[in-house]
Structure 1
Amino acid sequence: MAGLEELKRRLQPIFFDADGNVVPPPAADGTSDDSSSDDCEVLDGGTVNLLSRSSDEYNISKLGFHKRTTRPDGDYATDKAYRCSCHDMHIFDSVGNGASSVVHRAIYVPVHRVLALKKINIFDKEKRQQILNEIRTLSAASCYPGLVEFQGVFYTPDSGEIYFALEYMDGGSLADIIRVKKFITEPVLSHMLQKVLLALRYLHEVRRLVHRDIKPANLLLNLKGDTKITDFGVSSGLHDSVTMCATFLGSVTYMSPERIRNENYSYAADIWSLGLTALECATGRYPYDVNGGEADLMLQILEDPSPTPPQHMHSEEFCSFIDACLQKDADARPTCDQLLSHSFIKKYEGPGVDLAEYNKSVHDPAERLSQIAHVSS
């Protein structure tokens, strides 16, 4: 426990439970509250009303959701509606479980399209901010190529569950590829990272968002060759180029040093996470020792030299890319735009890599046929 005590001494006011895991800070009344001033109300007729700090109001029912944005003078500025009904869904098996949600495969019957339904309980107070973050981000960028496509959201009163209807990425995640292939070759990884960087640049420069949870499990693939970012539950908006975040959310495993020190942080925090993700994908292993628990891992990230790829196994360009992403000083890390011009990305540009064929090669053809038959039946 010595490592935990040292971390507590150096990193206050981060809060830990008895096992050394990071937990949300207590609110003024002594309770744990992650939702700040966002409010939730279940209205008559089975509708959930979510009111965000930005004065956006979301009414979610079993028929879909309606967004209303209020001007400072009290007038309604915009209305936007998504009709995505629970009655239109044929829900199948679970295809994944996260820390705060379960994902099911489903068919959207009106167009016979396979979707992923992400299920979150609305009555779990700590998850309400996650729900709002997901709705805000996905509804505002529902068709951007590098983000998982958003079809809508609906509420089931009987269970108290909010369902996000998302594009079904039938190629799995980068984490799945690592499990099957053990590692990803540099040419393939370069093409994948180019797609991720384009999407991350959009989040940073257009949406002014820090994703805060870039990791292999949140980078999804489809059999058409796309690589897309998902899971915006802990993302945070920055209103201008000098605004910084100051909250401690996301996966500690891929967290940047400035976030672990509980300092203000910005877009560069995502670049660190992307660098760790790329290094893990290329080598097949996470570069830090996780056996000592979260406190020990955080001390490694702070105190140890940044990890590097084995130079005898990887190109000079890839080693340079990782070195740029994993600078301890956030100001020294490149932007997405700069990384898109990096020699590692430029080296493999062109028609030499077929990501669609590669993604298909990860999956057992017999298993794929079985899945298609199951969904189609």
Structure 2
Amino acid sequence: MGNLCETNETQKMTSVQMPSKQQQEETMGQSSEMNLHFSSQQEQARKKLSIDDFEMLNQLGKGAFGKVYKVKKKDNSKIYALKAMNKKQIFDSNLEQNAVIEKEVLNNSKHPFIVHLKYSFQSKTKLYFVMEYIDGGEFYQILQRTQGLPEPVVQFVAAEVILALEYLNMKLKIIYRDLKPENLLLTKSGHVKLTDFGLATKRKESNIKSYTLVGTTEYLAPEIIRKDGHSFEVDLWTLGILIYEMIAGKTPFSHPERNQMKIQYLILKNNPVYPPTMSRDAKDLINSLLQTNPQLRLGANGYDSIKNHSYFSKINWQDLYELKVKSPLKTFAEENSNRLQNLKPLQTQIKETPVNTPIPQLNDVSFSGNEMERNSSFKYY
């Protein structure tokens, strides 16, 4: 919707033809119909959503606090992804504020490489986020199958992730803190979508840090392990880990038994071994991102330094943002989309679990949805 503005033209007196009585009656009739239609839309928006408004089709995934389902909204037959979370576990883990932040990120984001929220609501026991359905599957499945990707593919995926991180860190002032292959979804055309913002936090003013020990062990930045306090630079570190893993098929700091203490020791030691097949530009980029001192990481003074690195010399960032670049993962995403169409249907729907102790309502998480707003065009900033 455009802005209402006043020009010099509005101050001029102009001659107009007065409508006839019949035209006035017709206009009033049309106006009444429009008002009734608008009132109906408002009433629909005010209607409190519940899980009964959705038909569960398939289970797509499982997380720490709940599950993700493919669902169909009964009144419009549209397909969505529904994340159902256990409220008791959220309260027991003191992550109520994180749930609110996740809703805000999903709701406020208007970016092509970040999943968008359509609705959110809660019951006595569960919190529900209804998001756009991303039908190309998890990027993680590609790494499992290939054990390392060609560097042109890595450059493409990393570039889309960089644009998403830049938007989160610089525009929304959000620290993601959970970048990893499992949290990258693919559209049917093979483009990346960041998802799962349950560990995200708000970026504070300069020199004010966050101190929560949070994240996936292999991706933890040194300052999180040392509890020195951290800011958005942890996302630069995880970007370096992701790029290494996409090329090598494994993270640079790992242990066969996933011994967390040993992995953290390797991270603090920070001596990654690069495969001989990895390009010089890739090694330089990863080294620049995996700096122990967060202030020395590439991107600490702005994402342009990352986008201008020689590793991305063939990337047209504007075309990429506008989805004008064909994804090298398009074929895989289309095949995976077809596979997801044939998932085994759920035999039962989600049911509320009776509770003896009432679980408090989470404030600021309900969202009725605004399809018109969601269909608005993206603007590059």
* Both proteins in one fold, TM over 0.5: yes
CA distance in 1, matches of 2:281, 2:175: 26
Structure 2: gaps spanning 5 or more residues: 1-44, 347-381
CA distance in 1, matches of 2:178, 2:47: 26
- Shift of residue 253, structure 1, vs aligned partner: 1.9
Change (3 A) 1:138 1:354: closer
Work out whether residues 155 and 162 of structure 1, in 8 Å CA contact, stay in contact via their aligned partners in 2: yes
Query: CA offsets, 1:175-201, max 9 Å, x none?
Result: 111112322221111111111111111
- Shift of residue 154, structure 1, vs aligned partner: 1.7
Runs (4 or more) in structure 1 with deviation over 6 Å come to 80-83
Decide which of 260, 277, 300 is 1:313's aligned counterpart: 277
Work out whether residues 81 and 132 of structure 2, in 8 Å CA contact, stay in contact via their aligned partners in 1: yes
Query: CA offsets, 1:241-286, max 9 Å, x none?
Result: 4432222112222010111100111111111111111111111122
CA distance in 1, matches of 2:331, 2:205: 39
- Shift of residue 326, structure 1, vs aligned partner: 0.9
Which residue number in structure 2 is paired with residue 195 of structure 1? 160
CA distance in 2, matches of 1:222, 1:343: 27
Which residue number in structure 1 is paired with residue 210 of structure 2? 245
Decide which of 137, 140, 157 is 1:175's aligned counterpart: 140
Which structure carries more helix by proportion?
2
The answer to which structure, 1 or 2, has the higher relative contact order (CA under 8 A, 6+ apart) is 2
Which residue number in structure 2 is paired with residue 12 of structure 1? none
1:342 aligns with 2:309: yes
Work out whether residues 135 and 340 of structure 2, in 8 Å CA contact, stay in contact via their aligned partners in 1: no
CA distance in 2, matches of 1:301, 1:202: 27
1:166 aligns with 2:134: no
Which residue number in structure 2 is paired with residue 138 of structure 1? 106
CA distance in 2, matches of 1:101, 1:322: 34
- Shift of residue 239, structure 1, vs aligned partner: 3.5
Which residue number in structure 2 is paired with residue 360 of structure 1? 333
Equivalent residue letter for 1:96 = G
Which residue number in structure 1 is paired with residue 268 of structure 2? 302
Work out whether residues 138 and 185 of structure 2, in 8 Å CA contact, stay in contact via their aligned partners in 1: yes
Decide which of 119, 140, 150 is 1:152's aligned counterpart: 119
Work out whether residues 147 and 228 of structure 1, in 8 Å CA contact, stay in contact via their aligned partners in 2: yes
Equivalent residue letter for 2:108 = A
Which residue number in structure 1 is paired with residue 88 of structure 2? 123
1:330 aligns with 2:294: yes
Change (3 A) 1:99 1:316: same
Change (3 A) 1:304 1:360: closer
- Shift of residue 300, structure 1, vs aligned partner: 1.1
Which residue number in structure 2 is paired with residue 370 of structure 1? 342
Q: How does 1:1-377 map to 2 (within 5 A)?
A: 84-124=49-89, 125=91, 126=93, 127-141=95-109, 143-157=110-124, 160-290=125-255, 291=257, 293-305=259-271, 307-310=272-275, 312-335=276-299, 336-349=303-316, 354-355=327-328, 357-360=330-333, 363=336, 365=338, 367-371=339-343
More displaced stretch, 284-293 vs 213-222 = 284-293
Query: CA offsets, 1:159-181, max 9 Å, x none?
Result: x1111111222222221111123
Work out whether residues 183 and 284 of structure 1, in 8 Å CA contact, stay in contact via their aligned partners in 2: yes
What's the secondary structure of 1:118's corresponding residue? strand
Aligned-pair RMSD on alpha carbons?
2.6
CA distance in 1, matches of 2:310, 2:220: 25
More displaced stretch, 95-104 vs 125-134 = 125-134
- Shift of residue 133, structure 1, vs aligned partner: 2.1
- Calculate percent identity across the aligned residue pairs: 26
Which structure carries more strand by proportion?
1
User: Bigger radius of gyration, 1 or 2?
Assistant: 2
CA distance in 1, matches of 2:46, 2:278: 49
Which residue number in structure 1 is paired with residue 21 of structure 2? none
Change (3 A) 1:334 1:82: farther
Change (3 A) 1:362 1:265: farther
- Shift of residue 368, structure 1, vs aligned partner: 4.4
Change (3 A) 1:180 1:111: farther
Q: How many residues align?
A: 289
